[in-house]
Structure 1
């Protein structure tokens, strides 16, 4: 994917990362299950964008997901 084509995804990823940082830097993050769940949701959205950026197939996505699951991500 060219840099120009990747820019919308990059902007989306930047926005999602900013949201994650905002949530995780709050003083009550460690005890707030709602915030922790939101971070997991945002991370999943980032994963999907990265898969799209790299043009991964469903099979490749399953391999990555399996690896992440084994490594507690």
Structure 2
């Protein structure tokens, strides 16, 4: 196989262009959100006395988080 016929994997392009942190970070966020939105997480937290699950895994603005309940 000649050197010119070897394809560079896409992740290598990210690493060499300093975009690796963003690409890998976004994938981690997606995985965490999927866990937080899952039924298994909901059930696990619901079993802990004094805790409740409300909007787990929902992305909100700062204003939405600190808005007073009316």
Task: Say yes or no: TM over 0.5.
Answer: no
Structure having greater relative contact order (Cα 8 Å, sep ≥ 6) = 1
Q: Which has the larger radius of gyration?
A: 2
Q: Shorter-chain TM-score: what band? A: 0.3 to 0.5
| Structure 1 length-normalised TM | 0.34
The structure where helix makes up a greater share of residues is: 1
| Structure 2 length-normalised TM | 0.35
